[in-house]
Amino acid sequence: MKRVQFAISPEIRVGGSVFTPTDMVAIGQIVGEDAQIELSTFQQLIIEMNEEKAEDAKKALREKGLCVYETGSVVKNLSVCSFCKGAEIEGLDAARNLNDTIAGMTVPFTMRVGYTGCPNACGEPLVKDIGIVKRKETFEIYVGGQSKTMEAKTAELLVEQVKEEQLSSIVQSIITLYQTHGKKREKFFKFVERYGLENVRKELGLSS
């Protein structure tokens, strides 16, 4: 019997990517004892289960308030901080809107986007492919971070003083540019190096 994989994560909330005991019970009951559950580095649980049961399981998980995503070369769900200063101060709605806009977009290579609600950067956005840092009422967007291998590097500032209503569309445009001009299996930080930071700004009509 064919087995398939999909990913689940909790709703973005104060506390960050936090599964509640109720979430965990529901997951176990819905996917069943035959499923395999793996904790990934993407703040996701990877579910592997029989294909014939997978679609019903996804539907049931969504009905319980959990987020369901595809695996593979897609933009992963937003990696977030814990919103320790509160939802309004740290932009919980902005993070949720951004996640809804970009999660699951197909890309040349698996992509991580990090969000943190203050300059403490607890969500480690500067080692993500795209990092967002909230500063008071506006946001900074960084690109090209890399946390793994000997090529690890800090992301570079792409644009600052972005308004909340602009945030999701700008990040989506960055990813679309990568979709269009990135080579197959080219990591995003390699794409930024090859394409050039100034060219990314120019293509998107941004100023640093």
pLDDT in tens, 84-124: 988 899 999 999 999 999 999 999 999 999 999 999 888 88
Closest CA to 64 of 13, 17, 6, 25: 25
Q: Are 69 and 76 in contact (CB under 8 A)?
A: yes
Token pair of 105 as six digits:
């977009």
- Alpha helices (H) in 32-163, listed in sequence order: 51-63, 87-90, 92-102
Give exposure, 121-149, as e/b (b: 16+ Cβ within 10 Å): bebebbbbbbbbbbeeeebbbbbbbbeee
For residue 131, the model assigns a pLDDT of: 97
d(CA 173, CA 157): 16
Q: Angle, to 10 degrees, between the axis of helix 164-181 and the axis of helix 92-102?
A: 30
pTM across the whole model: 0.93
For residue 207, the model assigns a pLDDT of: 67
Neighbours of 30 (CB within 10 A): 21
* pLDDT beneath 70, residues of the chain: 207-208
Q: Domains, the chain, ranges and CATH?
A: 3-71 (3.30.70.330), 79-204 (3.30.413.10)
For residue 208, the model assigns a pLDDT of: 54
DSSP 25-61: HHHHHHH-TT-EEEE-TTS-EEEEEEHHHHHHHHHHH
For the chain, give the mean pLDDT. Answer: 94
Measured over all CA atoms, what is the biggest interatomic distance in the chain, rounded to whole angstroms? 53
For residue 97, the model assigns a pLDDT of: 97
For residue 173, the model assigns a pLDDT of: 97
